[in-house]
Amino acid sequence: MPPLRVLISGASVAGPTLAYWLVRAGCKVTVVERAPSLRRAGQGLDVRDTARDVVKRMGIFDRMLEKSSHEAGIDVVDKNNRPFAHFVADQSSGKGDSFSCDIEILRGDLAQILVDVTKDDVSYIFGDMVQSLDETEKDVNVNFANGTPTTAFDLVIAADGLGSKIRAMTFDKEDSQIKSLNSYVSYFAVQSNETDSSYAKCHWIKGGRFMVMRPDNLGRRLAFLGITCYDNADKRLAQLAAASKQGIQAQKGLVQDLFKDADWELSRIMKGLQDSDENEFYLQHIAQVKLKHWSKGRVGMVGDAAYAPSPFTGMGTSLSFIGAYLLAGEISKRPDNVPAALESYEKVLRPYVEGIQHLPPGVPYIFVPQSTLGVKVFETCAWAAGKLYETRIAVWFGKAIEYFQHGEEQFKLPDYEAFKPSEKMLQQAG
């Protein structure tokens, strides 16, 4: 049979990863990305659990390490920048025994690595997006918004993130649930100074707010400013939702206003906020995506578009790698029956995804107290956890983190005949 024609919407992590494995499965792949070029903005990402096996099978593990921030761990600090809780990074396993690990890479750097490793075999279209889908018995006719000719594909995959346009086109509202965690986080770069080290620093302030500065691989600090609201009626949620639709300047102005009474290193952080451009600033709504089904006919979903677990799980990027590998693998087994391949992909992966998406009681709210007293209690708990982490009890503490992030068992990555190294690949590796 002729190669399966596949369109993937989204060129961040899940999209190019899926493209890589679909090419290995003999598919003809096109990736469309609405941004005119790869975006630099976004948070630092880590890769944990079985996703590390996917990365190693792709041959990009060392490239990712080279671009890593080499973050040594995390310090929780008071308003005077004094650390009172200290957590060392997991420098080898990526199993979730620590809050950070050996691979901490900027989203833009990771996307660039993935595009570089696929660009010779995949057609990339930047500056365009899917406008509408017309599915027939044999294929899907895709109409694009910005000039790309209407094209027929055998399969269309949404890898366009939490706010997926294709998901909205494909599913009715009752089939597509976005569970808001009443949280927003803004990301941007801040200049380093003499007080910085290879450790990230975290600081909590009343009002459900936290401030983080992490090292990046460019000698700067990557700032996160987060807000979590207990009450759905909290006016800040409406303000943030409105700003998300109004553009970068409105978002930056609102973030500055919502943190104007903060302490710690506010002046340095606010300068970084003001100096950041549209390629360096990003405001993210923190939510989970829970679909009744991950596909409909010849249209499927992968990564955050299908099952965003939220940054509170620490597993969003890892699920993108695992899901992309599994989806391509199931397609490689059934290229003549796309709907059956999509159903099989969901059957294999859904139990693991649901385990990841299950947040412990009180999360995220217990980690972002609203009152001054609540912050003091949280800081005391963080101090105690840090002390325990420095002892042999740290082994059990790490196991608890791993349980909450990954569930009871690590997902076992299946092998697919189409992905076995060819004789040519083995010769090149040797």
- Answer yes or no: is 299 within a domain: yes
Q: Work out the percent of the chain whose per-residue pLDDT is above 90.
A: 70
Collect all residues with Cβ–Cβ distance below 8 Å to 351 and sequence separation of at least 6.
Answer: none
Is pLDDT above 60 for 34? yes
User: Distance between CA atoms of 241 and 285, rounded to whole angstroms?
Assistant: 8
- Answer yes or no: is 318 within a domain: yes
Output the average pLDDT for the chain: 89
- Answer yes or no: is 349 within a domain: yes
User: What pLDDT sits at residue 426?
Assistant: 44
User: What pLDDT sits at residue 274?
Assistant: 95
Task: Lowest mean pLDDT of 2-11, 252-261, 324-333, 375-384, name the range.
Answer: 375-384
Q: Which CATH number is 420's domain given?
A: 3.50.50.60
User: Distance between CA atoms of 10 and 34, rounded to whole angstroms?
Assistant: 8
Inter-residue contact 223 to 267 (CB < 8 Å): no
Span 41-59, pLDDT tens digits = 667 788 877 899 999 999 9
List the one residue out of 170, 284, 288 whose CA is nearest residue 225: 284
- Ordered strands of the 151-153 beta sheet: 130-135, 140-144, 151-153
Domain that holds residue 49: 5-68+103-171+293-359+407-429
User: Distance between CA atoms of 421 and 189, rounded to whole angstroms?
Assistant: 40
Give the chain's domain count: 1
In this prediction, residue 400 has a pLDDT band, given cuts at 50, 70 and 90, of low
User: What pLDDT sits at residue 399?
Assistant: 56
Question: What residues form DSSP beta bridges with 301?
Answer: 158
- Answer yes or no: is 288 within a domain: no
Q: Between vectors from CA 321 to CA 165 and to CA 410, what angle results, nearest 5°?
A: 125
User: Distance between CA atoms of 277 and 259, rounded to whole angstroms?
Assistant: 19
Q: Which residue has the tokens 């101090």?
A: 383
Q: Which residue has the tokens 């009180």?
A: 362
List the one residue out of 87, 64, 115, 390 whose CA is nearest residue 214: 87
- Answer yes or no: is 34 within a domain: yes
- Answer yes or no: is 401 within a domain: no
Once rounded to an integer, what is the mean pLDDT over residues 415-424? 78
Q: Is 392 exposed, middle or buried (0-12, 13-18, 19+ CB in 10 A)?
A: exposed
User: Distance between CA atoms of 71 and 102, rounded to whole angstroms?
Assistant: 7
User: Distance between CA atoms of 325 and 173, rounded to whole angstroms?
Assistant: 28
Span 79-131, pLDDT tens digits = 999 999 888 876 655 454 456 666 788 888 999 999 999 999 999 999 999 99
Once rounded to an integer, what is the mean pLDDT over residues 389-405? 57
Once rounded to an integer, what is the mean pLDDT over residues 158-177? 88
Once rounded to an integer, what is the mean pLDDT over residues 332-358? 95
- Answer yes or no: is 213 within a domain: no
Is pLDDT above 80 for 406? no
**Residues present in the chain in total:** 430
Amino acid identity for residue 214 in this structure: R
Locate 294 and state its tokens.
């991950």
- Phi/psi at 99 (nearest 5 deg)? -80, -15
- Answer yes or no: is 228 within a domain: no
